[in-house]
Amino acid sequence: MIDTRVVFSAEFHNYFMLLALREAARAAAAEEVPTGCVIIKRPASLELPLAAVHVIARAHNQSEMLKDATAHAEMIALTQASAALGEWRLTDTILYVTKEPCAMCAGAIVLARVPLVVWGLSDPKRGGHSVFSILNHPDLNHRPEIITGVLEHDCRTILQSFFSERRA
């Protein structure tokens, strides 16, 4: 279980958000909404070099390709992480996603017991946390710690560019 007293550096979070942004770029190249997600195994030590931290899942939106409304980056990454660990409880992980999870993904994150969720861009119109407070609802048995705004400008830019190009 992640010790919430441990504070990871901005450099640490930026490194993994950049990996999520790479996944978002893959989604955009496939004409999917550019959202990317990376899940890491919590490092045993903060002394570990960033490149040595174990990435257990990386995914991007694939709803159009798979013709599946549930094929969001977070859902695919949660499935990959569970397979990698052989466990559905992801209690020793950190999830990075470029845009705030929707209600479906936020619910899955809670069910998977992910202890720390980090996102770049909040979604005040559709976000599972912003709109529905799923990630910190007092009646739920698990409420992950949340960090927002990591590489927010980059996360906003990739989404805005995608939709601008589609409108043109």
Contacts of 162 (CB under 8 A, 6+ apart): 28, 33, 34
- Look up 47 and say whether it is catalytic: no
pTM: 0.95
Query: What are φ and ψ of residue 121, in 5° steps?
Result: -115, 125
Q: Locate 14 and state its tokens.
A: 């930026």
- Tell me which of 23, 32, 74, 100 is the catalytic residue: 74
Return the half-sphere exposure (C-beta side, CA atoms, 13 A cut-off) of residue 98: 30
Mean pLDDT of 94-98: 98
Question: Residue 1 pLDDT more than 80?
Answer: no
Q: What is the mean pLDDT of residues 112-141?
A: 96
pLDDT band at 7 (very low <50, low <70, confident <90, very high): confident
pLDDT over 80 at 146, yes or no: yes
Pinpoint the alpha helices (H) of 49-127: 63-66, 73-85, 103-111
